[in-house]
Amino acid sequence: MDTSIGIKDTLPGADPDAPLLEVEDLLVEFDMRGERVKVVNGVSYTLQKGRTLAIVGESGSGKSVTSQAVMGIVPSPPGHITGGEIRLHGVDLLRQSAETRRQVKSDHIAMVFQDALSALNPLWTVGHQIGELFRVRRGMDRRSAKKRAVELLDMVGIPDAKNRVKHYPHEFSGGMRQRVMIAMALALDPEVLIADEPTTALDVTVQAQIMKTLKEIQEERQMGLVLITHDLGVVADVADDVAVMYAGRVVETAPIRELFAHPSHPYTEALLRAIPRIDGAGRELEVIGGLPPNPQALPGGCSFHPRCHRAREKCATEVPAELAVAGDHSSRCHFAKEVYGDE
């Protein structure tokens, strides 16, 4: 059964031929101890239909807050979206009514949260929680809603879905709960799926299984998929494009293979060096020295310069502009082309 609703039914003026999702110059500020602090500072990216974008960065880089802004769930107070645009099929969601944004979030954009156990209601079976989406949003009766819940659990790889639909969240393993969350997110056939650290706290085998499931479903449905993670290694075989974030900004964007072959920002270099390698047995993992900056006290110039082994005097005084280094590959580093060519 097709449970989708056309974008034009929900969002008047939407252009099906426009890019699926565009975030442009997004600004998100939080009230912290009596002052406004930018935690997302001019973030831009584009997600096309049928492609997967990985947003990568350390904790505190602003990647999750960016996606909360897209979903319209930035906690307010203390958070405020103070600038930029979030366009779905060419229509800026930030200029729509609260009701329109709610419908868009229900029918066209969905999110898989990091902590499945906290996101699921412990008092209801997983079948009830998935079925409720169909009862409330699609007007289905209980029997039809339960049937769809079983189909979704089966689709995401939960064995014996017909019986497991009667179980409660605590009766599932961490990996299985994450699959339940994916099933719930996919229930209404969204065009955009945002997965926020979907493999956190899972062992590497389960991580691989979850990522494989997401990729297969994304390809089958031709969704746009946004993967938020701190680990480039997790998305290496899944993502089409990558946006690397640091201190509230996107510092590098590139197709995944291009990024791995030719990183052009020192922060991306450092993230790649920190990925464990099969041929690195017996060697210590490299780490990025220092700590991510406090958003209330960002260093001048390039925010990464206090931790950067390539930093020069200019880096401490001038904020780097976005520089195109090759095709769809861009970087916010004064010396991006030099880094790019340094094999």
pLDDT band at residue 168 using 50, 70 and 90 as cut-offs: very high
Least confident of 107-121, 159-173, 197-211: 197-211
> How many other C-beta atoms can be found within 10 angstroms of the C-beta atom of residue 210?
24
pLDDT at 2 over 60: no
Radius of gyration of the chain (CA): 21
pLDDT at 343 over 60: no
Predicted structure pTM score:
0.91
Q: Which residues contact 282 (CB under 8 A, 6 or more apart)?
A: none
Domain annotation for the chain: domains and CATH numbers: 18-108+190-277+286-340 (3.40.50.300)
pLDDT at 3 over 60: no
**Cβ pair 316, 299 in contact under 8 A:** yes
Q: Which residues contact 145 (CB under 8 A, 6 or more apart)?
A: 130, 131, 132, 133, 134, 135
pLDDT at 136 over 50: yes
pLDDT at 4 over 70: no
pLDDT at 1 over 50: no
Tell me: the pLDDT tens digits for 151-166? 999 999 999 999 999 9
Burial of 117 (0-12, 13-18, 19+ CB in 10 A): middle
Q: How many residues does the chain have?
A: 343
113's enclosing H/E stretch is none
pLDDT at 229 over 70: yes
**Bridge partners for 326 per DSSP:** 329
> Which of residues 14 and 164 earns the better pLDDT score?
164
| Cα angle 24-29-32, degrees, rounded to a multiple of 5 | 165
Continuous H helices in the chain? 7-10, 63-71, 98-107, 116-119, 126-138, 142-155, 161-164, 174-186, 204-221, 232-235, 256-261, 266-273, 336-340
